[in-house]
Amino acid sequence: MTAAPLHDLPPHHTDAARDADRALREHAEQARHWHLADLFAEDPRRFETLSLHAGGLLVDISKQRLTADTLEKLRALAAARGLDTWIRCLFEGGEVNWTEGRAAMHWRLRQPPRPQGEPDPVQEQLARMERIVKRILSGQWRGCEGDAITDVVNVGVGGSDLGPLMASVALHENHPREGRRPRVHFVSSMDGSQIAPLLDELNPATTLIVVSSKSFTTVDTLSNAATARCWLEQAFPKMNGAVLRCHFVGVSAKPERMSEWGIHEDNQLLFWDWVGGRYSLWSAIGLPIALTIGMDGFRELLAGANEMDRHFQEAPWEKNLPVLLGLVDVWNLNFLDITARAVLPYDGRLKHWPAYVEQLEMESNGKSVDRDGEVVDYHTCPVIWGEVGPNAQHAFYQLLHQGTQPVACEFLAAARHGRRNGNSAELQPLEEQHILTLANCLAQSRLLALGDRALAEDDGTPTHKRYRGNQPSTTLLLDELTPRHLGALVALYEHKVFVQAVLWGINPFDQWGVEMGKKIAKDMIQVLESGAGADGLDASTRALAAYVRERQPDDR
């Protein structure tokens, strides 16, 4: 379904780009000496100039160490790097993933249905997914003994796990409009440590396994799926045909591999090569999300993301959220030399957001070779980590406030909690907890930015009690944590990652860096099992392998 691209990918190294880069470097020489407390003192309208609202999101970058002038210079660099053409290429289905020779069209998954009569594989798969969701929610998906399914286990890893897990947990308070949702469980770790205790708890007669893998060769996923299959076949030894038909759904871009594994054709959901794994929660990979919030909720999620897609394409760069956030990150990393970023959601529902963002950004932009095959001589993606903010306050905030590393922080919260169930008297204490959490969020970003100057007086305070401040941060406020707003938020991050990749001249859609390890691991199995091939290894690995082998039970 790739349309012929209309635009060529623009070149990275141009004279204009070099000029824009030089201008920014000169500008940064001064900016390095700025303190956020001074910037706020000098410009009372700083928030008005340096914040944006779109798609139900307020983004405040006024606590970043930059000015309107900085942004203008960054936009000049983006223009010189051909960002506008790149955006057009992305949405035309151009070959933006050049190392794998294909388009990246995750945005296509959230487009509204095409006019009637036109073939629309995306809507076709959505309809198939809806049938499955409806059947499960209505209690009419039957196990091989005829029981209604009560538990669904999503077996997947990476993009087939992090996105669906993050969104299912974030939106858990949104119930499907009809029917009763199953309990949804996630299993990813290859060592079986997640699936073993889970299967102990579950009833095979009422459990459905969703095997999610784009390639359907991922060893982590297939080993967990094989364990689940063995568990079910042992529970129902007389009905092996029905076990696969009644207890397994597959989601993949490779139908023939699903069939080979034994997934019944009616239970196969497809997506496509042009959807990257970490961009796939919008496809049938999002099945656990749809089971949690219902198909209506899932379509809302898509609609929110589609709104952000249009915003990214249409809004002028001055008002363009993905462009703005991408430029800020580039500024911090390449011009202020801040190589770490902390992701801090002030909302327990978003507890998997940091892990999701870590994969999205570091797997996308953890690259160092440009389109000409040259190794770049500047930083690309920063090191990103995170944790639910209030909990992180008791863990690593000490480093943020008084350590030696500069860290850019990202605060994320919902302005309104928007709880749906229960009466107001019972919810009052919870509302108070929400306000308490927001108060902490605002207090921390303020203290990080201003340091001691956030306090009234600071005379005579000993050095070890002082806060130097000037840690830059962005605050994102969702109006409310709804499927629609979450959809917009995730799409914002996807596009931001793209903007950065364009400025760095790298391909955000491949992941060659994770391939070799898988291959070497295969050989290593033999080393551990028989010792064969150990001689060729380095001294460390050889010794570790021997140590492990000595400690295996004798009957192996």
Partner 1 sequence: MRIDMFGDTLCAMVTATAMAQSGHRVRWWLPPGRVARALDDDRVLYQEPGLSELVSAQRRAGRLDCRTDEPGLADVNGEPAVSEPAPVVCLALQPGDLERAGHLADWAGRGGARLLVNQSVFPVGTTEQLQARLRDAGADTPVVCLPDTLQEGQALDSFTRPHHILLGCDEREAEVLMRELLRPYNRRRDVLKVMLPREAEFTKLAISGMLATRLSYMNDMALLAEELAVDIDVIRQGVGSDPRIGEAYLYAGCGFGGPGFSRDVMSLTDTLRSRRIGAELLEQVLQINERQKEVLFRKFWRHFEGDVEERRVTLWGAAFKPGSDRVDNGPALRLIEALWAQGVDVHVHDPLALPELSNWARGKGTLTLHDDPYEAARDSDALMLVTEWKAYWGPDWDDLKAAMRTPLILDGRNIYDPAYVKRQGFTYHGIGRG
What residues contact 389, with CB distance under 8 A and at least 6 apart? Answer: 344, 345, 346, 411, 413, 437, 440, 441, 444
Supply angle C-alpha 259, 244, 273, rounded to 5. Answer: 35
Piece of the chain touching partner 1 by CB under 8 A; list 145-153, 179-187, 324-332, 393-401: 145-153
H or E element, residue 122 = helix 121-137
Q: Pick from 9, 242, 537, 544: which binds partner 1 (CB under 8 A)?
A: 242
Q: Does 246 bind partner 1 (CB under 8 A)?
A: yes
Report the nearest approach of partner 1 to the CB of residue 144 (Å): 6
Is 237 among the residues that bind partner 1 (CB under 8 A)? Answer: no
Told to check if 135 binds partner 1 by CB under 8 A, we report: yes
The residue from 44, 112, 117, 146 that contacts partner 1 (CB under 8 A) is 146
In angstroms, what is the minimal distance from the CB of 542 to partner 1? 52
Quote the CA–CA distance of 251 and 249 in Å, as a whole number. Answer: 7
Is residue 138 a contact residue for partner 1 (CB under 8 A)? Answer: yes
Q: List the one residue from 12, 108, 110, 142 that touches partner 1 (CB under 8 A).
A: 142
HSE of 489, CA atoms in CB hemisphere, 13 A: 28
CB-nearer residue toward partner 1: 183 or 245: 245
Which window, 19-27, 134-142, 155-163, 366-374, contacts partner 1 (CB under 8 A)?
A: 134-142
User: Integer distance in angstroms from the first to the last C-alpha of the chain?
Assistant: 51
Strands laid side by side in the 57-60 sheet: 51-54, 57-60, 473-480, 408-416, 340-345, 383-386
- Burial call 114-153: b when 16+ CB within 10 Å, e when fewer: eeeeeebebeebbebbbebbbebbeeebbbbeebbbbbbb
Written as six digits, the tokens of 205 are 């007669």
Q: How many CB atoms lie within 10 A of CB 191?
A: 10
Task: Kindly give the pairing relationship between strand 473-480 and strand 57-60.
Answer: antiparallel
Residue with smaller CB distance to partner 1, 247 or 311: 247
Q: Is 147 in the site for partner 1 (CB under 8 A)?
A: yes
148-167 positions binding partner 1, by CB under 8 A: 148
Q: Is 22 exposed, middle or buried (0-12, 13-18, 19+ CB in 10 A)?
A: exposed
Stretch that binds partner 1, among 239-247, 356-364, 464-472, 491-499 (CB under 8 A): 239-247
- If one asks whether residue 245 binds partner 1 (CB under 8 A), the answer comes out as yes
Residue 43 within binding range of partner 1, rule CB under 8 A: no
Dihedral sign, CA of 304, 308, 314, 315? positive
DSSP summary character for residue 136 = H
Q: How far apart are CA 252 and CA 462, in angstroms?
A: 60
Tell me if 241 contacts partner 1 by CB under 8 A: yes
| Catalytic sites, residue numbers | 363, 394, 518
Does residue number 144 form part of the binding site for partner 1 (CB under 8 A)? yes
State in angstroms the smallest separation of the CB of 143 from partner 1.
Answer: 9
Q: How far is the CB of 153 from partner 1 (least distance, A)?
A: 19
What is the DSSP pairing of strand 57-60 with strand 51-54? antiparallel
Q: Which is nearer to partner 1, 43 or 147 (CB)?
A: 147
Q: Is 145 in the site for partner 1 (CB under 8 A)?
A: yes
Per rule CB under 8 A, is residue 239 in the interface with partner 1?
yes
- CB 236 → partner 1: shortest distance, Å? 10
Q: Which is nearer to partner 1, 96 or 249 (CB)?
A: 249
Candidates 64-72, 140-148, 387-395, 413-421: pick the segment binding partner 1 (CB under 8 A). 140-148
Nearest distance from residue 140's CB to partner 1, in Å? Answer: 3
Region at 552 (left for phi over 0; alpha for psi -120 to 50; beta for the rest): beta
461 binds partner 1 (CB under 8 A): no
User: Judged by CB under 8 A, does residue 229 bind partner 1?
Assistant: no
Among 138-146, 180-188, 417-425, 505-513, the segment contacting partner 1 (CB under 8 A): 138-146
Strand partners, 187: 155
Residue 28: count other Cβ atoms within 10 Å of its Cβ: 18
Q: Per-residue DSSP letters for 359-396? A: IIIIIHH---B-TTSPBPSS--SPEEEE--HHHHTTTT
Identify residues 477-516 at the interface with partner 1 (CB under 8 A).
none
Residues at the contact surface with partner 1, assessed by CB under 8 A = 135, 138, 140, 142, 144-148, 239, 241-242, 245-246
